[in-house]
């Protein structure tokens, strides 16, 4: 169903005929780690993720799996390693 709260017109699984069913009843702005991601969009003067309602939660347990600006890998000890190389390569190509 299309959002009628913050991301007006965007299809969203949390939108229902009773309004937004996500925790708090609306989306949350992006966090610093989201900067550079291609899923970032501005709605009414604030910056949100076009794919997920709570960007901070996506980074709580390592790296966001939807992010387009980083490459995350898990090392042998189970630690998540974030490689921003993708972003710098993209910037070098002028995108």
Whole-angstrom Cα distance, residue 22 to residue 63?
Answer: 21
Locate tokens 């949100």: which residue?
48
Binds ligand SF4 (CB under 6 A): choice among 39, 43, 62, 86? 39
> Does residue 28 interact with ligand SF4 by CB under 6 A?
no
Whole-angstrom Cα distance, residue 47 to residue 62?
Answer: 21
> Does residue 67 interact with ligand SF4 by CB under 6 A?
yes
Interface with ligand SF4 by CB under 6 A: which range of 1-9, 15-23, 49-57, 80-88? Answer: 49-57
Handedness of CA 54, 35, 91, 6 (dihedral sign): positive
Considering the complex, state which of residue 15 and residue 49 has its C-beta at the smaller distance from ligand SF4.
Answer: 49
Considering the complex, state which of residue 12 and residue 67 has its C-beta at the smaller distance from ligand SF4.
Answer: 67
- Asked if 33 contacts 69 with a C-beta cutoff of 8 angstroms, the reply is no
Residues that bind ligand SF4 (CB under 6 A): 30, 34, 37, 39-40, 49, 51-52, 55, 58, 64, 66-67
């Amino acid at each position: 169903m299309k959002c009628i709260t913050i991301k007006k017109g965007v299809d969203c699984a949390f939108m229902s005929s009773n309004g937004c069913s996500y925790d708090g009843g609306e989306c949350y702005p992006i966090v610093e780690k989201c900067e550079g991601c291609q899923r970032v969009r501005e709605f009414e003067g604030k910056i949100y993720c076009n794919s997920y309602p709570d960007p901070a939660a996506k980074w709580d347990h390592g790296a966001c799996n939807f992010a387009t600006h980083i490459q995350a890998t898990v090392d042998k000890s189970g630690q998540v390693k974030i490689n921003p190389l993708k972003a710098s390569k993209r910037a070098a190509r002028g995108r």
